[in-house]
Chain A
């Protein structure tokens, strides 16, 4: 079974631009979560989607948005990029949204904002 796939792996953008990151979950998984990881802030939760609906949301500005498609694939969008958005963005999928369900992570997209 293929794991969680994130594309692209690396991205370089300039301030003010927008970016879209993609995540394909493990087959059969209906929940997708996004995290931002930076050296100073650690792993921070962005949002979780389940069956195309946002179920949980972290404390990030409205510039960060996401969506999930009917095939469970998810995209994350960041508009008006700032230097501080440079980070590793990780996607995780789990079968259901139950408390016991293990999250499986992709390799991440490393975004650099210049």
Chain B
């Protein structure tokens, strides 16, 4: 079974629109971390955020915000006022103690921001 599910394969938005990327995870562990990465066309995955299982506070960083809800096992990512430079593939990932701290990645969401 997939440990991290990103149901949205591709999303297109017009510049300045808000967009939310969904991430649902599955774990039996009580101690785990969730991550978001951005992969621009150059190929390198760029770390965006880390959140631990004991901290459900939402986080905002500029135009980016993250909503972590343990009750629904979700860690969603919202980009406000999207820009063309936000076009990339975004990956959600889970790291849990139970499986030796291995990273599990979702299949990614390809975001295209149309000018």
Contact = CB atoms under 8 A, between A and B. Distances in A.
Interface of A: 33, 35, 42-43, 45, 48, 55-56, 88, 90, 92, 97-108, 110
B22 to A, nearest CB: 16
Interface residues of B, number: 27
A58 B43 CA distance: 21
A19 B112 CA distance: 34
Given A43-B91, A48-B102, A107 B44 contact: yes
A98 B102 CA distance: 9
Interface of B: 31-33, 35, 37, 42-47, 50, 52, 91, 95-97, 99-108
Given A90-B45, A99-B95, A108-B43, A42 B107 contact: yes
Most A Cβ at <10 Å: residue of B35, B43, B50? B43
Contacts, number: 60
A92 B100 CA distance: 16
15 contacts: A42-B105, A42-B106, A42-B107, A43-B91, A55-B100, A56-B100, A88-B43, A92-B103, A99-B32, A100-B33, A100-B95, A101-B95, A106-B44, A107-B44, A108-B44
A106 B42 CA distance: 11
B47 A110 contact: no
A56 B99 CA distance: 9
B68 to A, nearest CB: 15
